[in-house]
Structure 1
C-alpha cells in the first residue's frame, strides 16, 4: 500500500463527486437557463461531463495503484500528478484574469486539485 497515492485517489473520488453534484447547482443550472443557443449549451455541458468522467476514472486509478502499491504504474501516476497540478494552475490563471487576487476565493477548485497532484507525484517518486 502506498498511502500517498491512496490519499490522492480518495481525495480525487471526493473531488469528482463534488464536481458532479455540487457543480450542477452552482455553475451548471444557471448556465443551462441562460439565453445561449442550444448547440453551445450542449457542447459545454458535454465538456463538463467529460471532466467528470476524467476526474472519476483518474481518481479510481490512483486509488487502485495506491491500495495495491503497484510500482509498475508509478510513472503513469506521476503523469496524473502533473495533470492535476496543471488543472489547478488553469484555475489560478483563468481566475486571476477574471478576479485578480480574489481568484483564491472565487475559484477555489485549485484547493482540491493541487493536493491530489502533489500527493500522487510524491507517492510515485
Structure 2
C-alpha cells in the first residue's frame, strides 16, 4: 500500500462529494435560477459535471493505485497530481483577481485540491 497516493484518493473522493452535494446548493442552483441566458447556464452546468466526473475518477484511480501499491502507474499519478496542483493555482489566481487577500477564505477550494496533488507527488517520491 502507498499511503500517500491512497490518501490523495480519499481526499479527492471527499472533495467530489462536497462538490456534488454542497456545490449544488451554493453556486449552481442560484446561477441556474438567474436571468442569465440559457447558453451560459448550460455551459456552466456541463463544466460543473465535468469537474464532478474528474474528481470521482481521479479519486477512484488514486485509491486503487494507492491501495494496491501499483508502482507501475506512477506516470498516471504524476499526471493527476500535476493537474490538481494546477487546479489549485487556478483557484488562487481567479480568487486573487476578484478578492485579493480574501481569496483564501472566499474561494477555499484550493485547500482541497492542493493536498491531492502534493500527496500524489509524495507517493511517487516514496515508492
Bucket of the pairwise TM-score, normalised by the shorter protein: over 0.9
Cα shift at 1:122: 0.8
Q: Where do 1:1-125 residues align within 5 Å?
A: 1-125=1-125
Number of residues paired by the alignment?
125
> Per-residue deviation at 1:75?
1.4
RMSD: 0.6
CA distance, structure 2, for counterparts of residue 118 and residue 5 of structure 1: 9
CA distance in 2, matches of 1:40, 1:109: 22
TM-score by length of 2: 0.96
Give, in angstroms, the shift of residue 110 of structure 1.
0.4
- Which consecutive segments of 4 or more residues in structure 1 shift more than 6 A? none
Specify every segment of 5 or more residues in structure 1 that has no aligned partner in the other structure, as ranges. Answer: none
